[in-house]
Amino acid sequence: MAKDHGPHIKNDEQYEALRDKGMSKEKAARIANDSKSGKKGGHAAKYEERTREELYEKATKVGIDGRSKMNKEELIDALRNH
């Protein structure tokens, strides 16, 4: 049974599993709180298929610093490692 991390974490079990894999608290919480997280069969386009502007918007949503100076490849790397 997963520990209760309070109301700010929606999926405690997933949060703990992600933390055990070495993810930061911020990233684990963001994934565990996403209503679509953990479901297979997503239809999102791969990062490489998105425009720089789409990647920039995603980077804005997740709070990546320095995104305005990043090119498409740098945004992809930042999103994957945030």
Q: Exposed, middle or buried, 80 (CB in 10 Å: 0-12/13-18/19+)? A: exposed
- Boundaries of domain holding 49: 45-82
Residue 76 lies in a domain: yes
Q: Are residues 78 and 56 in the same domain?
A: yes
Give dist(CA 24, CA 63) in Å, integer: 14
pLDDT value of residue 57: 94
Chain centre distance of CA 82 = 7
Q: Are residues 52 and 79 in the same domain?
A: yes
pLDDT tens track for 21-65: 998 888 888 888 877 666 555 677 889 999 999 999 999 999 999
Residue 1 lies in a domain: no
Q: Are residues 52 and 73 in the same domain?
A: yes
Q: Are residues 55 and 23 in the same domain?
A: no
pLDDT tens track for 61-78: 999 999 999 999 999 999
CB under 8 A, 24+ apart: contacts of 75-80? 75/47, 76/47, 76/48, 79/47, 79/55, 80/47
